[in-house]
Amino acid sequence: MTQVKPAHKRILLKLSGEALMGDDQFGINRATIERMVAEIVEVSKIGVQVAVVIGGGNIFRGVAGGSAGMDRATADYMGMLATVMNALALADAMDKQGLTARVMSAIAIEQVVEPYVRPKALQYLEEGKVVVFAAGTGNPFFTTDTAAALRGAEIGAEVVLKATKVDGVYTDDPAKNPNATRYEQLAFDEAIGRNLGIMDATAFALCRDQKLPIRVFSIIKPGALLRVVMGENEGTLVHA
């Protein structure tokens, strides 16, 4: 029997910190992170090279009250440290499920994680390891969406997969409007014109300029990540 090959060999998975919370108000829900990792293990086993950029909103949310009135750059650095915490938790869960992960940080914390070095990241991917990029771009005023677009372009990812709690991009908020319909595909210019808020403007412009497609899908739906990498019509594809 001929084995069906995945549609994508190398992907950049963008996980929000909030996706790790499950039903909790902040922090990391262990059952949720283990389920997500199981999906990553599944696609890695069929030969897909996986890199991950993770946000820190779930950790930072717990200290957000204390950051009110804080200098923006200082708050952003705190958020970067939150992404490092999430990356370590994600890598630990991967290791426990038999998948080798390497955390690479855009800010230097060498006692804890490796610094980001592009050739080393590419080597890890070729070896079948999952690379988790932490600390965003290493600069304040840039989101982890921008980090996902940047790292995706740097490592030659074929697609940026933005994992959310909603199974794609809709004409309206489906939680509030039951008549909202899901876009199957969108051109970058159309998405910008409709102000759909898929990613922040910097990230979106970078993906458009590099002709790096974005697929928005639900990380909550069982098997959705596998369906995406196999090229099935899952979520919404945004392309040049």
Binding residues for ATP: 14-17, 57, 61, 164, 170, 173
Extract the annotated binding site.
14-17, 56-57, 61, 76, 137-144, 164, 170, 173
**Cα–Cα nearest to 12, from 125, 141, 143, 167:** 125
> Cα–Cα distance between 174 and 180 in angstroms, integer?
5
DSSP 16: -
Using CA atoms, how far residue 179 sits from 70, 170, 171, 225, in Å, is 41, 10, 9, 26
Residue 111's CB is within 10 A of a number of other CB atoms, namely 5
* DSSP E strand boundaries for 16-86: 49-54
b/e 60-78 (16+ beta carbons within 10 angstroms → b): bbeeeeeeeeeeeeebbbb
| 206-144-47 Cα angle (round to 5) | 80
Extract the annotated binding site for UMP.
56, 76, 137-144
| Token representation of residue 174 | 């489906």
Maximum distance among all Cα pairs of the chain, rounded to whole angstroms: 62
> Cα–Cα distance between 125 and 49 in angstroms, integer?
6
